[in-house]
Amino acid sequence: MPNPTTPPRNACTRRLWLATAAALLWPPGLRAGSDPAPLRLGTSTPGGGFAQYGEQLAERVNARAGRTLLVARPTRGTAENLGLLRSGGIDAGLVQGTVASEVLAQGAASGLRILWAMYPSPGMLAVPAASPHRRLEDLRGRRVVFGVRASGLVTLGRQVFDGIGMDIDRDVQAIYVDQAADSPRRVLEGQAEALWGAGEGWPGFMQLAGAPGGARFLGPQPSQIQGILRRHPLLRAMEVPAGTYAGIDTPLPTVGSVNLILARADLPLEQARSVVSLLEAASADVARRLPQAAFGTRASTLASAAVPELLHPAWRDAQ
């Protein structure tokens, strides 16, 4: 007489089959018996757009993986992320688009490759809606918050103002902060007249646009854009859609770049493949929380590489 506590043979077989099938559905680097250390992702200071994106990305990727596969590490932004990548302090880092392009132009010597395309960052200046300033040039001699000195936003700001013949450290009273979260506060408390930033859903712009009185957004004049691009050809012409922030009632022409996640070229292939697979799987989840993240797809990542060799080897044969 069979033991009533022992499952029938066919039930045991079915459970074994299901467990085996489930294991085979995991990316290769995540199957049973493989437990690599979490990938360390450098982001930015708390309150910055990169920090917000990196935290959401890690949360959704780890939820998909069922364990901690990705750890978002606060940094001072693009410049520190590159230093940490080169020293081995992190495995991957969020890098502002034009800086990423300059690094990748070094080819194999950079030791870095594209792991994922993040989102575009069209540059803009926000002023209180009651401000008399209407053009970037109106801020000559005025106090403007550009953010954390080592961040990619500051690099973009330098390039845009340089393209219209202004040096932000000479022609503008540039204000730098230690934490990105301090940037909008400086304007709201009257310590500065404008806030430089970029992209959709950027926390500083969200705060300024939602404050009493609201905000107005400025980009370079359409007649200035070609001059900026000639001087800084790694930038791209972009347009911020109406309604991106309260205060943008018509499309706003400007320039910007596509931010990238760069990883060390020597990142173990199976670990990189696992992360890429889960980035794809989690992309819609992240976009539901951060609309700008909808840009990050397999297609946009492949398109971000001028030549296939700039992609991490995890993308090999993906074209």
* pLDDT reported for residue 34: 53
In the DSSP assignment, the letter for residue 311 is B
User: Nearest 5°: phi and psi at 196?
Assistant: -90, 140
Q: Give dist(CA 32, CA 24) in Å, integer.
A: 9
| Residues in contact with 282: Cβ distance below 8 Å, sequence separation at least 6, in sequence order | 57, 60, 61, 63, 64
Query: Dihedral through CA 83, CA 84, CA 88, CA 92, nearest 10?
Result: -110
Residue type at 258 in one-letter notation? V
Q: Give dist(CA 116, CA 26) in Å, integer.
A: 20
* pLDDT reported for residue 2: 43
Closest CA to 148 of 185, 192, 179, 193: 179
Sign of CA dihedral 242, 202, 263, 278: negative
pLDDT of 254-305, one tens digit each? 999 999 999 999 999 999 999 999 999 999 999 999 999 999 999 999 999 9
Q: Which residue has the higher pLDDT, 81 or 318?
A: 81
pLDDT of 221-241, one tens digit each? 999 999 999 999 999 999 999
Determine which of 5-9, 70-74, 162-166, 222-226 has the lowest per-residue pLDDT on average.
Answer: 5-9
Do 94 and 163 contact (CB within 8 A), yes or no?
no
E-strand ranges in the chain read 39-42, 70-73, 92-95, 112-128, 143-147, 173-176, 194-198, 215-218, 236-240, 252-264
* pLDDT reported for residue 295: 95
pLDDT of 20-49, one tens digit each? 333 344 444 444 445 678 999 999 999 889
Q: Give dist(CA 92, CA 111) in Å, integer.
A: 12
Tell me the mean pLDDT in the region 84-99.
96
* pLDDT reported for residue 31: 44
* pLDDT reported for residue 36: 72
Cα 190 from chain centroid (whole Å)? 29
Tell me the mean pLDDT in the region 193-206.
95
pLDDT of 135-158, one tens digit each? 999 999 999 999 999 899 999 999
| Residues in contact with 114: Cβ distance below 8 Å, sequence separation at least 6, in sequence order | 100, 104, 260, 261, 262, 263, 301, 304, 305, 310, 311, 312, 315
* pLDDT reported for residue 30: 43
Q: Give dist(CA 87, CA 119) in Å, integer.
A: 26
Residue 317 confidence class, pLDDT cut points 50, 70, 90: low
Structural domains of the chain ordered from first start: 33-120+258-315 (3.40.190.10), 121-256 (3.40.190.10)
Tell me the mean pLDDT in the region 171-180.
95
Q: Which residue has the higher pLDDT, 219 or 31?
A: 219
Closest CA to 197 of 188, 207, 189: 207
DSSP bridge pairs for 94: 261
* pLDDT reported for residue 28: 42
What percent of the chain lies above the pLDDT cut of 70? Answer: 88
